[in-house]
Amino acid sequence: MSQLTLADLSDKMRDIDFAMLSTHAEGGEIAGRPMSNNGDVAYEGDSYFFSYEDTRTVDDIKRDPKVSLAFQGSKSLLGKPPIFIAVEGRAELIRDKKAFEEHWTKDLEIWFKDGIDTPGLVLIKVHATRIHYWHGVDEGEIKL
């Protein structure tokens, strides 16, 4: 079994755009939804997702910032299993347009028609505290 570093993991995540973001809902249930990485693939333990302020996702984070992310890579050309990554972390809500500019990609205009000037836009930053991965027979954990 080999131990991946955070840099190794970042390389393997390069082609994974969507993650499942899970939050704690008002009644204590777990609520999950797919979120796009916005092309932010130089992973150093922080993930960024855009959302609208008036969503259950944002309400959940305001109530409890402990979240999780689940990533799944695609199967390799030689039929090897994909990589699976589970991230535990804390979410932060960012409302700063300068930060929006740093993480914005044109493709996001599908969901946010006015770009970084979209009313009610918020950036969700998830700072990882623990990452567990499975890649074929290899598995490991990175604590940040």
From CA 69, how far away is CA 16, in angstroms rounded?
Answer: 12
**Which pLDDT band holds residue 7 (cuts at 50, 70, 90)?**
confident
Contact (Cβ atoms closer than 8 angstroms) between residue 141 and residue 130: yes
Mean pLDDT of 36-59: 86
Contact (Cβ atoms closer than 8 angstroms) between residue 4 and residue 140: yes
Q: Three-state DSSP class for 135?
A: strand
- Model pLDDT for residues 54-113, shown as the tens digit of each residue: 999 999 999 999 999 999 987 776 777 888 999 999 999 999 999 999 999 888 999 999
C-alpha 43: how far from its chain's center? 10
The amino acid occupying position 43 is Y
Mean pLDDT of the chain: 90
